[in-house]
Amino acid sequence: MRILHTSDWHIGRSFHGHATLDPLRGVLETLVAQVREHGVDVVIVAGDVFDSATPAAAAYTLLSDVLRAVADAGATVIVTSGNHDSAARLGFQARLLRDGVHVVTDASAVGTPVTVSDQHGPVHFYGIPFLEPVLLRSEWPGVRCQADVLAHAMDLVRDDLGSRGGRSVAIAHCFAAGVEPTPHLERDIQQGGLDVVPLSTFDGVDYTALGHIHGRQQLSPRVRYAGAPLHYSFGEGGKPRGSWLVELDARGLGPVEWLPLPVPRALSTLTGPLDELLHDERFAEFEGHWIRAEYTDALPQRDPMRRLLARFPHCAQVSHAPVAVPSADARTYAQRVRSARSEAELVDSFLSHVREGEGASAREAELIAELLDERSRVEATA
């Protein structure tokens, strides 16, 4: 049996104010083509189908179109809800879809598999939707955190599998021990302490398809993250996009292959003085990319975004990141102020403090002197 493990579609998410619906549609059309090309039997979407609990109508349309296309390509689809999804809304959507598309959003269904058979017998797919511990304490006594609810859910899976027999796949949406997250991206499930799920939690099944982390990761040969199909932040820029093609043979887990997906527009972070970013030929190859620009001039520059957009039409973020110049003067700011012998030196001490060591330039020193002289003349005639 061939299984395509994907996750974190985040339909409806924006990228620095830019809609991603059309690029995502194109990428998912490639995924459907891969289903046909590789004879995929089952497609898994491991949570965060939508980016919002209240997705727009266009997001529902895209999801319905893609799931129908996957089913038309001959694959069974199994979708679980993630922490960004509304389980109720996604579950309602399930009733409108055709046979062969299974949407798992209800905690009471944990431990009841979707079973798909091949020439070697049944494969049981155990979908585990994102579970809120606080909402399950009355039904699952003793659960306090993600590690607890996933442990209880996998106990239900193993109990059911013990009576059924056969090969098995678990699907979950969580932080698992050993994962490397993208900073400021995977929201709402904390790392550290009790919110990290031990890898041993997923023992007892042939393969575990995880979602929530936006970059592909292999925690063990049997436990993997597929990541998101699009880049949703500059922190993801260097991470490949795609899905895992997982094969199960008669004995269990067989070969696992990475199937890359196209990147509609590359992401690049450019660093340098603003004038170089605007004119240097070494940046020409990035003119069609999404750009995060970090200009290193000592002082903030006028209208940097407007000027950068003239060269990089897809510049999405600009920040001022001056290069710190170590000061040869080891005195504190207060010491420099007290030792200033003139108002000009006082101004220079202030500039050196706010510029992290860089005082007034020669031209600035001339202007400061002129202004101070002019003030003295005005005060003398007052």
| Residue 216 and residue 236 in contact, taking contact as beta carbons nearer than 8 Å | no
pLDDT attached to residue 194? 42
Tell me the pLDDT tens digit for each residue of 234-287: 988 889 999 999 999 999 999 999 999 999 999 999 999 999 999 999 999 999
pLDDT in tens, 314-338: 999 999 998 765 555 566 667 766 7
> Which of 344, 351, 341, 295 is closest to 322 using CA atoms?
295
Is the full-model pTM beyond 0.85? no
Per-residue pLDDT tens digits for 171-199: 999 989 877 655 555 554 444 334 789 99
Residue 17, token pair as written in the block: 């104010």
**Residues with pLDDT less than 50, the chain:** 188-194
Please give the structure tokens belonging to residue 371. Answer: 């202004």
- Residues near 279 by beta carbon (within 8 Å), at least 6 away in sequence: none
Give the pLDDT of residue 327: 53
pLDDT at residue 34, rounded to an integer:
98
User: CA–CA separation, 236 vs 240, rounded Å?
Assistant: 8
What integer pLDDT is reported at residue 138 of this predicted model? 85
Class of domain 2-260: alpha beta
Q: What confidence score (pLDDT) does residue 328 get? A: 56
Give the pLDDT score at 117: 96
Quote the pLDDT of residue 22.
96
Q: What is the pLDDT of residue 154?
A: 97
Q: What percentage of residues in the chain have a pLDDT greater than 90?
A: 61
